[in-house]
Amino acid sequence: MNAEILSVGTELLLGHTVNTDTTIVARELSTIGVNVLYCATVGDNPARLEEAVRQALSRSDILVTTGGLGPTGDDLTKETVAAAAGKKLVLHEESLRRIEEYFKGRLWGESQKKQAWLPEGCTVLPNDVGTAPGCVFETETGKIVVMLPGPPSELTPMLTRYAIPCLASREQAVIVSENIHVFGMGEGAVAELIDDLMQGANPTAATYAKDNEMFVRVTARAESEEKARKMMAPLSAEIRERIGSYVYATDCESLEELAVQELLKAGKTLATAESCTGGLLSKRITDVSGASQVFEMGAVTYANRIKEQVLGVSHETLEAHGAVSPETAREMAQGIRRAAGSDLGVGITGIAGPGGGTPEKPVGLVYIALSDGEHTWVRKMMPGSAGRPRSRSWQRNAAASHALDMVRRYLQGIGGLEDAGLKR
């Protein structure tokens, strides 16, 4: 079946809210074999909304709306969609009780009750974290309409717990994909390597850029997940083979997820000393739930004084080579390892920009060191292609990713620790 996602909200058209709802809904629909062919966004305007609903119902089997279910005057989705689909709204007693319970002991207005009015005959989707319920109903022409709230924190649980199981029971085919994650090689370089493998129709392979990484998605459509996986396996293996050790994982969320997994597996601990990345590396590591078992300590040492005091970087090194140098990175990694009593230590120092660059040490120059007590490896990260400076946040993210890549290469024992080797 084909679906269309329609987001409602003037804030989306003004460009002050990123529409992540569409992404979340599209991803979940693809897991149950529903093809999304169109996404659209309209403002809180009944006429344009109604027109968009009519168009969607004329060309798609499923219409999923996001947003506009709340209590305020510009929350018009339910009324408008129900009218366009020829349905009346009726009061849903259980939803009213849920809303009353949500506001127990607090001041609340009549307008909140509006949220309990839903299209007659619909399946109600409970809102576990907010007040506005969603719903699923079928139109007279056999089209399915799903209405979800706008805030992603409410939409996501309603979608995955209630809407997707409800839709899945109607679907036959399954779309399965896996993502082959690559760090250190650009999308263009990978696309050239696997160009001939990207021509198939089922399974398919496609390349995607992602921050300072890229990934290859392999997708198959079949009547069962098992069959789909069997179709994908040889293609996926050939792709991994060609890209080699730049592939860091398949279907792993991120480099930090992998690094934490590998540390847990090896029973090793890590500590980090960051200058230009300012805590981003430790933040990314501790984004992974359970990181506390392997992450001993992070230090953000901007000032040279602190580098000496906390990490024991020698005054002579800082004087002779400067704070942004392989020597300082090396001593930072060794110093934090000693200070934290961890198995591994990482040191990052560089110039994230936009200010602070010089001809000898331009914005984008970063040194990343990893020490295990016996050896210390240093990777050098240079400014982007053709010397073009990238944004501060890009630089910082790339430097943290290099550190994580060094950690996983160390733990996987595959070498390449010092080779920045960004192939673009």
Window 270-299: residues binding a copy of itself (CB under 8 A): 272, 274, 277-283, 285-287, 289-292, 295-299
12 binds a copy of itself (CB under 8 A): yes
Closest contact distance (angstroms) between CB of 15 and a copy of itself is 3
Closest contact distance (angstroms) between CB of 358 and a copy of itself is 16
Applying CB under 8 A, which part among 141-149, 163-171, 227-235, 352-360 lies near a copy of itself?
352-360
22 binds a copy of itself (CB under 8 A): yes
Binding mask 53-82 for a copy of itself (x = CB under 8 A): -------------------x-x--------
Residue number, 379 or 396, with CB nearest to a copy of itself: 396
Residue number, 80 or 122, with CB nearest to a copy of itself: 80
95 binds a copy of itself (CB under 8 A): no
Q: Which helix (H) or strand (E) holds 274?
A: strand 270-274
Closest contact distance (angstroms) between CB of 146 and a copy of itself is 15
46 binds a copy of itself (CB under 8 A): no
CB neighbour list of residue 62: distance below 8 Å, 6 or more residues apart: 1, 2, 3, 4, 29, 34, 143, 144, 145, 146, 167
Q: What angle do CA 415, 417, 289 make, to 5 degrees?
A: 100
CB neighbour list of residue 89: distance below 8 Å, 6 or more residues apart: 78, 79, 82, 117, 118, 119, 120
Per the structure block, which two tokens stand in for 179?
């993502």
Q: Which of 1, 32, 40, 420 binds a copy of itself (CB under 8 A)?
A: 40
Q: Which of 1, 32, 43, 321 binds a copy of itself (CB under 8 A)?
A: 43
CB neighbour list of residue 214: distance below 8 Å, 6 or more residues apart: 182, 185, 186, 187, 190, 207, 208
Closest contact distance (angstroms) between CB of 280 and a copy of itself is 5
Residue number, 407 or 417, with CB nearest to a copy of itself: 407
Q: 314 to 333, contacts with a copy of itself by CB under 8 A?
A: none
1 binds a copy of itself (CB under 8 A): no
Q: Which of 354, 373, 387, 421 binds a copy of itself (CB under 8 A)?
A: 354
Q: 96 to 135, contacts with a copy of itself by CB under 8 A?
A: 102, 109, 128-129
| Euclidean distance between CA atoms 305 and 125, whole angstroms | 57
Q: Which helix (H) or strand (E) holds 64?
A: strand 62-66
Q: 168 to 197, contacts with a copy of itself by CB under 8 A?
A: 177, 179, 191-192
Pairing of strands 344-350, 270-274: parallel
The region that residue 396 occupies, defined by phi over 0 for left and psi between -120 and 50 for alpha, beta otherwise, is alpha
Residue corresponding to tokens 């000393």? 273
Closest contact distance (angstroms) between CB of 65 and a copy of itself is 14
- Per-residue CA distances from 51 to 4, 37, 284 (Å): 14, 18, 44
3-class DSSP string for 145-166? EEEECCCHHHHHHHHHHHHHHH
